[in-house]
Amino acid sequence: SNKFVSLIVPHGASGVRALVPLFVLYALMLVARATAMLIRNHLMQTTGMRVTCDLRIAVFAHLQKLSIRFYEERQTGRVVARVTEDAASMHQLVANAAVNCIGELTMALGVLVLLFTYSWKLAFIAVTIIPLFIVNYPWHRRRMRMESRRHLRHWSKLRVFLTQRIANNRVV
């Protein structure tokens, strides 16, 4: 790290004069990072919206092909809630989750490389803890799946209630 600082800071500089190049470099890095994140977020949101739009078109086309009996057996609110939630979940997956997963994995690998560079003993200790997270993951995944399904059922009931109330208000 001293080699890197000596490349940026002029030889013989001290005090504030030595810090100015570091502050300028830091500011440039912040601007570059913000620009990259802006571009990334724009691309991912655009991609997410396109995927969501295509999904909604496909689902709507499928719903048009279903029989009248299908709609008689199910509450309108449940069908609407399912379609809306599935499209929103797909948008979240494409626009946010995939990017965050890639970003977090990249960050973790970078941290591990730095750890091994500075102290292989500390890095070894950090790596030995990783299996605990891997073993713990399936239990939390099952729990989160159950919670997610419970949440979707409650959300579906709320939408059914609202859809019926709004439909009944039109009748009256």
Per-residue pLDDT of 4-44, as tens digits, reads: 667 777 777 777 777 787 788 889 999 999 999 899 888 88
Please state the separation of Cα 115 from the chain's center in Å: 26
- Total residues found in the chain within this entry: 172
Confidence (pTM): 0.52
pLDDT tens digit sequence for 116-146? 888 888 888 888 988 888 888 888 888 888 9
Classify residue 29 by its DSSP letter: H
**Inter-residue contact 82 to 51 (CB < 8 Å):** no
Classify residue 10 by its DSSP letter: P
Question: Distance (Å, rounded) from C-alpha 170 to C-alpha 172?
Answer: 6
Question: Distance (Å, rounded) from C-alpha 52 to C-alpha 148?
Answer: 20
**Inter-residue contact 72 to 56 (CB < 8 Å):** no
